[in-house]
Structure 1
Amino acid sequence: MTTNIAPDPPPAPSGSALLRYLTVIIGGAAVMILELLGTRIIGPFYGVSLYVWSSLIAVTLIALALGYYVGGYLADRVGMIRLPHVILAAAVSTLVIPFISGPVLTATDNLGMRAGGFTAALLLFTLPLTCLAMVGPFVIKSFTRDLAGVGTAVGSVYAISTVGSVVGTLVLGFYLLPQFGTRTILFTLTLVLLALSAWLALEDRRFKARYVSLPAAAVAIGVGVLLGRGFAHSATRSHEFKVLHEEESVYGWVRVVDDEKHGYRLLLSDSSVLSAMEIARGYTLLSYQVAMGVLPRFHRDMKDALLIGLGGGHVARELKNQGIATDTIEIDPAVADAAKAYFNFRPTGQFVVGDARYEVKRLGKAYDLIIHDCFTGGSEPTHLLTVEMLAQLRSMLNRGGILALNYVGFTEGEGSEAVASVHKTLKTLFPHIRVFVTEKSEFTDFIFLASAQPLEADDTIADRRLQWLLERERKQLPEKGGIVVTDDFNPLEHMQTRKAEAYRKIFMERIAYDLLIR
């Protein structure tokens, strides 16, 4: 008779085992924190586009692959390098990021938006991410006693590391970034890694802890001095512009700056100009916003408007001067606050802070005019340009209501298919469309006016702005490559590449480099 005897349950983790699990959790969280912070360091210089995100993800994967291999090799063959050394190296390489980011970004600028963004990410983040990836192999090695337990050890370590990554992502996005600046988070992460390396060194009895704990303590003291001297706050300094305000939000690095030499004020978000104002008189310097001010001439009884994309609030102010109440939607609370504090914006209707794709469904009213103006970083948010989104806006128009969409693009050549796609998408929804440009050049703002009724301007009252706009009407638009943009198929990000690069070139010529580096 055979008796089945259940195996003994695995022993409870010892204190050293729990410490190693904690190390894996912190390492996983740190990887995601560094990857996400990369957009806050590189974004102001190269823009937060698909290319910057792709670069950071690619660099992270390269570093993880390298770290897994090198970590496994060192854990097996180089006994003098142990886990505390790896964590210490990760801490030090994280600490130097804010100090070398400026020179690295400046040095890679001539490579262009895509190659430059990738190279900058590679130089800034490969070393700390590689060190953090080495944690897994070292911990697996410490847990492995015989082949029978290898699978459990590997599975446990990578599962716990993934949990750490999830926690790090959520804590950073939901709490840390809205509350603290990038440098503060980097310095705090450095201190956590330093403390962890010292703790691991003290727990490891097979080598002298002072070779790690003393350097960790020295670096920690240095970080403390930097914090005490205010290095955690990336206050912008510029010889050409006076910085009035800066704030780091979930969506970008928002700054208000004055060019006192030329007498204008700018609202910047990362590498975008959201508003430009003549300081003395408060007039907008962006020609497409001037054009938006004459839109009531296309609808004689206009009373209610919706503005999607607030910027400095100039369009809403102009509509208010014409007796039109305007609801506004702005995704970034930092931009909304700056518009009120520095650009004399005062809400005349509902003042909504949130993503337009979600918020428009909650407004519950109809409008005579909807202005769609969401340009940032050299491109428009593509999810706001699909046929589904535009159909939602059409359903919110009163009879004879107008949808005005501002879109920056090219009149011909590469990139003109993006303009053609926006035009084609609008034509599937509206029978009447008129198109105007702000500049008679290849690269310009296209102002699309779309309605269910014929669009005729009231020119009975002399208005130089209206005459200026009518002189810039485009009867023919590029058609080649145009598609109907949908939620299911939306290649606009790729179509906008040339535009993003052209915009960045103009931006870099007019804005001081030191305004873009943390």
Structure 2
Amino acid sequence: MKMLLLDFHSTLMAKEKIKISPTHPKKSKLQEGKTLLLVISFIEGGAVMATELFSAKLVAPFFGASLYVWASVLGVTLGALAFGYLTGGYVSKKYKNEKILFWIFLLGGFFMFLMPFSSKWIMSLTFDLSVKLGSTVSLLVFMLPPLFFFAMMSPMIIKALTSQADASGKNAGLVYFISTVGGIVATYLTGFYLLPTFGIKVPAVIYGSAISIISIILLLRKKDFIPMVIAVLMLLIYNADKGQKKRNDKFIIRHESEGVLGQLKVVEHMYPTVFRGWKLGRGLLVNHTCQTLMDVENPGYSLWDYAFFFPNAASIYPKGSDVLLLGLGGGTLVKQYERLQFNLDVVELDERVTKLAIRYFDVNPATRIIVDDARHYLNSTEKKYDIVTLDLFLSETPPSHVLTKESFERIKEILKPGGMIMMNFYGFLSGEIGRASRSVYKTLEAAGYHTRLLANPAEMEMDRNLIFIASEEKLDFSKTDYAEPNLPVITDLEPYFIQTENMDFSDALILTDDLPVLEHLYIKAALEWKYYSNLSYTHNFVKDNLDLFK
């Protein structure tokens, strides 16, 4: 009897040890599997956001950064996620094998790795299409596949973690929380560090490769050796791209970088001017749209004729006048205003542009440049100015939040008596494509300005720029005093103003902070500029097999 009691007691103790032991192999294995799935969820969430950021930057040099492009990026992203979630839910119910999850993770990483290569291939075929169609088709080819496979993973991970129905809600919340945290980390890391430091290509290739390597290791542990074929394929693709011969008959690329605000290139090429013949120009390109074209032989001057009209109009003000320039670009206006001996403050949003203007475009390092958003600076400054100049194009689009009635009213508050606004804008004025210009004109009038339109001579509206000049009282430009080498001397600007008295402004809108519709109004003008910019730059970069992305 005593022996039976001892045996029974030993059995109970053994069971109790098994129950409380932290090193129980089955429980430890389950915990390890749960941790692995949550780590994968974190990586997958980061990969989704990184893929979206990479895609938006990959598409910009071909199709720009207009509202249509962003709508395409968001639409394809949401479509890929929706169908990925749906498919993942179906697969999780039909297949219980953990290998399926690892395979889907591998395919997502593989297609993410492909993005810099597949995007260049598809967009070289589609950039002659309309922006709406071309950007959408391109994104369906290079962005949808990785997002689709990554989206499949969340419902599959939730299913793998859930053994009882009452735990499904808790597990779903945990997976989406961890995935979202991964997305937040990747967004800040990619946007603020990886893109500005390494560009698009290197982070995309490394991120996709890292996911693929993790997946391959997990599958090898399951005795699945087929993924090694994908690893070999990735190496072949990478080496094939590195081995492509590049020829360059027209362009010298001095600098290129990527950032949240777009791709920057400094490019030298020959340019036909109206009065000076063929000249070697140095251009600052944002998403392959030229913002500045400097005369390399005479770096103090621009090769674009319209730029001459800004300092010519400003010359009615005396030396020592206080001038605010919103938008630095390559610094053409900075150098022109310095020749007029103005006291100049410059506001530029992208710090990279500031550095490039000084290094490549002969801008004086002592120039007072404030890195800030134009509207924020206007709202916060207390300084008064004689002239406020707006030259704010980012790629082919101006910032609509600066061109509102409220913004113009704020500028009036910081203008000295007799001061004026000068603003660079699209050259289109007639028809539907010119509705944006007419609306800006009407908005300035509504803000209490006397508004005039100055244009450089051109046979077509596409070949000119409009300069809005707005002041509380009409200014006299019949006696201007500014000249540049090898350009006609103009001492009377009045003949270059467009007569607006008989123009129809009935369809023009007053742009306000509550009615931010300028992006819809200027879209045709922006697409027209982008089309001709693609012909000048993107088409030739593709033809010469130059790197389109850093």
Q: TM-score, normalised by structure 2?
A: 0.84
Q: Which residue of 2 aligns with 1:3?
A: none
Alignment of 1:465-504 (within 5 A): 465-467=489-491, 469-476=493-500, 477-504=503-530
Identify the match of residue 448 of structure 1 among 463, 468, 472: 468
Q: Secondary structure at the match of 1:415?
A: helix
Q: Which residue of 1 aligns with 2:39?
A: 22
Q: Which residue of 1 aligns with 2:425?
A: 407
Alignment of 1:69-80 (within 5 A): 69-78=86-95
Equivalent pairs: percent with the same residue?
Answer: 29
Shift of 1:484: 1.6
The 8 Å contact of residues 282 and 296 in structure 2, kept in 1 or not, is answered as yes
Measured in 2, the distance between the counterparts of 1:290 and 1:408 equals 16
Evaluate the alpha carbon distance shift between residue 503 and residue 260 of structure 1 in structure 2; reply closer, same or farther with a 3 A threshold.
Answer: closer
Q: Which residue of 2 aligns with 1:208?
A: 223
In the alignment, residue 159 of structure 1 is paired with which amino acid?
Answer: F
The 8 Å contact of residues 319 and 341 in structure 2, kept in 1 or not, is answered as no
Alpha carbon RMSD of aligned pairs, Å? 2.8
The answer for unaligned runs of 5 or more in structure 2 is 1-26, 272-277, 543-547
Measured in 2, the distance between the counterparts of 1:462 and 1:275 equals 20
Q: Which residue of 2 aligns with 1:7?
A: none
Evaluate the alpha carbon distance shift between residue 334 and residue 91 of structure 1 in structure 2; reply closer, same or farther with a 3 A threshold.
Answer: same
Q: Secondary structure at the match of 2:432?
A: coil
Q: Which residue of 2 aligns with 1:241?
A: 251
The 8 Å contact of residues 427 and 455 in structure 2, kept in 1 or not, is answered as no
Asked if residue 511 in structure 1 is aligned to residue 528 in structure 2, the reply is no
Measured in 2, the distance between the counterparts of 1:514 and 1:106 equals 11
Evaluate the alpha carbon distance shift between residue 475 and residue 359 of structure 1 in structure 2; reply closer, same or farther with a 3 A threshold.
Answer: same
Q: Which residue of 1 aligns with 2:64?
A: 47
Measured in 2, the distance between the counterparts of 1:336 and 1:235 equals 33
Identify the match of residue 261 of structure 2 among 251, 269, 279: 251
Per-residue displacement from partner, 1:94-146 (whole Å, max 9, x unpaired)? 11111122221111123211111111111111111111011112112211223
Q: Which residue of 2 aligns with 1:459?
A: 479
Evaluate the alpha carbon distance shift between residue 460 and residue 130 of structure 1 in structure 2; reply closer, same or farther with a 3 A threshold.
Answer: closer
Evaluate the alpha carbon distance shift between residue 143 and residue 281 of structure 1 in structure 2; reply closer, same or farther with a 3 A threshold.
Answer: same
Measured in 1, the distance between the counterparts of 2:88 and 2:326 equals 50
Evaluate the alpha carbon distance shift between residue 461 and residue 492 of structure 1 in structure 2; reply closer, same or farther with a 3 A threshold.
Answer: closer
Measured in 2, the distance between the counterparts of 1:166 and 1:407 equals 37
Q: Which residue of 2 aligns with 1:162?
A: 180
The 8 Å contact of residues 432 and 454 in structure 1, kept in 2 or not, is answered as yes
Q: Secondary structure at the match of 1:82?
A: helix
The 8 Å contact of residues 154 and 175 in structure 2, kept in 1 or not, is answered as yes
Measured in 2, the distance between the counterparts of 1:98 and 1:289 equals 36
Q: Indicate the larger mover: 364-373 or 78-87.
A: 78-87
The 8 Å contact of residues 246 and 255 in structure 1, kept in 2 or not, is answered as yes
Evaluate the alpha carbon distance shift between residue 465 and residue 132 of structure 1 in structure 2; reply closer, same or farther with a 3 A threshold.
Answer: farther
Asked if residue 38 in structure 1 is aligned to residue 55 in structure 2, the reply is yes
Larger radius of gyration: 2
In the alignment, residue 450 of structure 2 is paired with which amino acid?
Answer: H
Shift of 1:415: 2.5
Q: Which residue of 2 aligns with 1:321?
A: 339
In the alignment, residue 461 of structure 2 is paired with which amino acid?
Answer: E
The 8 Å contact of residues 354 and 369 in structure 2, kept in 1 or not, is answered as no
The 8 Å contact of residues 319 and 340 in structure 2, kept in 1 or not, is answered as no
Measured in 1, the distance between the counterparts of 2:132 and 2:381 equals 39
Evaluate the alpha carbon distance shift between residue 236 and residue 437 of structure 1 in structure 2; reply closer, same or farther with a 3 A threshold.
Answer: farther
In the alignment, residue 90 of structure 1 is paired with which amino acid?
Answer: G
Measured in 2, the distance between the counterparts of 1:364 and 1:49 equals 33
Alignment of 1:105-504 (within 5 A): 105-201=123-219, 207-212=222-227, 214-215=228-229, 218=232, 238-260=248-270, 262=278, 263-282=280-299, 283-300=301-318, 303-347=321-365, 349-440=367-458, 441-443=460-462, 444-459=464-479, 464-467=488-491, 469-476=493-500, 477-504=503-530
Q: Secondary structure at the match of 1:258?
A: strand
In the alignment, residue 43 of structure 1 is paired with which amino acid?
Answer: A
Q: Indicate the larger mover: 131-140 or 242-251.
A: 242-251
Shift of 1:315: 1.1
Shift of 1:281: 2.3
The 8 Å contact of residues 154 and 176 in structure 2, kept in 1 or not, is answered as yes
Q: TM-score, normalised by structure 1?
A: 0.89
Shift of 1:278: 2.2
The 8 Å contact of residues 288 and 538 in structure 2, kept in 1 or not, is answered as no
Q: Secondary structure at the match of 2:475?
A: coil
Q: Secondary structure at the match of 2:324?
A: strand
Asked if residue 89 in structure 1 is aligned to residue 77 in structure 2, the reply is no
In the alignment, residue 67 of structure 1 is paired with which amino acid?
Answer: G
Measured in 1, the distance between the counterparts of 2:416 and 2:482 equals 27
In the alignment, residue 270 of structure 1 is paired with which amino acid?
Answer: N
